[in-house]
């Protein structure tokens, strides 16, 4: 059984040898999934339980001459990777007693396949975890502070995998186009055209991903991971210059704000100001401390992708109580202002509109 169309390609091309999955080959399984050069032997009932698409497909009678392997029908899954299916099947057939946190790559694979094959429980779990780790409120972000709470990031993994998987099912508007194209670049290492069609625009009406509101924070974290201190992409660009420029513009806006409107903006005056000039208890000492803080925090010419840093205990040392209190309030107020503007840095709609675009 195959979903692969006859595209007229040369069938004489030698295919890589087929391997059986060492962890997902059950001797008493009754169906074999063939993905790329890997085969998984599992159970129809479990697949049907989780996926309505696979359930309907398994109801189709096999032709009398359909080849079998060990008495099992073989389903060729085209357009997916073996690694994606390994992640999905590991979720269907867990080998551990207690839950463990999935990696970014696992989440991205399960999110994409659960959309394609309609696996609602897994899709919902992905959405819950993504929204928890990439909240759309400042209070929610300050609770996680850029740390993964419901997934892990392994070496070599990039948050753009999640962005690409979340957006792969369809786009909403042209102004999201470059965001998706860049995400695909970071994920795959090359440029793949992402066209926005009327059908894709219509598809968003029932797109179950509903993850538009995670985009601002996801892109902010992507910028922090992908942009070096010199303000360039950390890997060789393989996308059109216009797309690089669009993304780097957002990063440069953030870096510029770090210089002019960060929560510690009182440090960026010449000479460095003090947080509470009208009520400071030790003007000379606090001014010296502000100057020292500026020297230790601000590196001329560096690109910093950091807007929402919480007040650090180290900053209080040497400042009077009035300046500490005023400084903390300045940090909080500026953080709120920058959070409101965050979507606009990447050309996205505001938070309220993104929330309306979420469909879950």
224-256 pLDDT, tens digit per residue, is 776 666 666 665 444 445 555 666 777 778 777
- Band (179; pLDDT cuts 50, 70, 90): very low
Round to whole Å and give the CA distance between 304 and 251. Answer: 9
pLDDT of 206: 35
> Contact, 108 vs 192, CB < 8 A?
no
In a domain, 133, yes or no: no
Last residue of a domain, one of 62, 81, 100: 81
Last residue of a domain, one of 29, 58, 81: 81
In a domain, 219, yes or no: no
- Structural domain including 45 reads 1-81
In a domain, 159, yes or no: no
In a domain, 301, yes or no: yes
Neighbouring residues of 45: CB distance < 8 A, sequence distance ≥ 6: none
Residue range 75-97, pLDDT digits in tens: 999 999 999 999 999 999 988 77
In a domain, 202, yes or no: no
> Across all residues in the chain, what is the average pLDDT?
76
Tokens of 39: 């085969």
In a domain, 236, yes or no: no
Round to whole Å and give the CA distance between 151 and 101. Answer: 5
- Report the pLDDT averaged over residues 254-263: 65
Strands 31-35, 72-76: pairing kind: parallel
> Contact, 196 vs 180, CB < 8 A?
no
In a domain, 250, yes or no: no
Query: Is residue 21's pLDDT more than 90?
Result: yes
Q: Which is higher by pLDDT, 249 or 33?
A: 33
Last residue of a domain, one of 36, 51, 81: 81
- Band (317; pLDDT cuts 50, 70, 90): very high
- Report the pLDDT averaged over residues 270-296: 86
**Region of 148 on the Ramachandran plot (φ > 0 left; ψ -120 to 50 alpha; else beta):** beta
Cβ neighbours, 10 Å, residue 317: 11
- Band (181; pLDDT cuts 50, 70, 90): very low
Cβ-in-10-Å burial (0-12, 13-18, 19+) of 287 comes to middle
For 220-248, b/e burial (b = at least 16 CB within 10 A) is bbbbbebbeeeeebeeeeebeeebbebbb
> Contact, 49 vs 30, CB < 8 A?
no
Cα of 86 vs its chain's centroid, Å: 20
pLDDT of 67: 87
Looking at the DSSP bridge assignments, the partners of residue 25 are 41
Round to whole Å and give the CA distance between 146 and 161. Answer: 17
In a domain, 102, yes or no: no
Indicate the number of domains in the chain. Answer: 2
């Amino acid at each position: 059984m195959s979903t692969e169309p006859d595209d007229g390609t040369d069938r004489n091309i030698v295919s890589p040898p087929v391997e059986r999955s060492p962890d997902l080959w059950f001797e008493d399984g009754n169906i074999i999934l063939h993905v790329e050069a890997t085969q998984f032997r599992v159970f129809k009932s479990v697949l049907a339980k989780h996926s309505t698409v696979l359930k309907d497909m398994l109801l189709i009678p096999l032709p009398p001459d359909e080849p079998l392997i060990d008495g099992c029908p073989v389903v060729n899954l085209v357009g997916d990777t073996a690694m994606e299916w390994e992640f999905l099947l590991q979720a269907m057939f867990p080998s551990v007693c207690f839950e463990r946190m999935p990696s970014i790559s696992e989440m991205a694979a399960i999110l994409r396949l659960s959309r394609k094959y309609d696996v609602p429980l897994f899709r919902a779990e992905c959405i819950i975890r993504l929204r928890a780790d990439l909240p759309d409120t400042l209070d929610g972000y300050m609770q996680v502070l850029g740390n993964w709470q419901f997934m892990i990031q392994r070496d070599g993994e990039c948050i753009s995998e999640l962005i690409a998987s979340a957006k792969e099912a369809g786009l909403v508007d042209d102004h999201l186009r470059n965001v998706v194209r860049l995400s695909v670049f970071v994920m795959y290492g090359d440029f793949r055209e992402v066209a926005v069609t009327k059908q894709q625009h219509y598809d968003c009406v029932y797109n179950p991903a509903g993850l538009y509101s995670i985009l601002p924070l996801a892109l902010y974290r992507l910028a922090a991971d992908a942009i070096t201190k010199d303000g360039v992409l950390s890997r060789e660009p393989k996308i059109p210059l216009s797309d690089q420029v669009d993304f780097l513009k957002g990063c440069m806006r953030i870096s510029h704000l770090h210089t002019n409107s960060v929560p510690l903006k009182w440090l960026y005056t010449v000479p460095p100001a003090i947080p509470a000039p009208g009520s400071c208890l030790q003007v000379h000492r606090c001014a010296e401390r502000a100057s020292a803080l500026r020297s230790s925090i601000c590196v001329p010419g560096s690109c910093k992708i950091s807007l929402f840093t919480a007040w650090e205990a180290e900053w209080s040392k040497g400042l009077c109580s009035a300046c500490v209190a005023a400084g903390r309030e300045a940090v909080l107020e500026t953080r709120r202002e920058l959070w409101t503007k965050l979507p606009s840095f990447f050309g996205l709609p505001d938070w309220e509109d993104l929330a309306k675009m979420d469909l879950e």
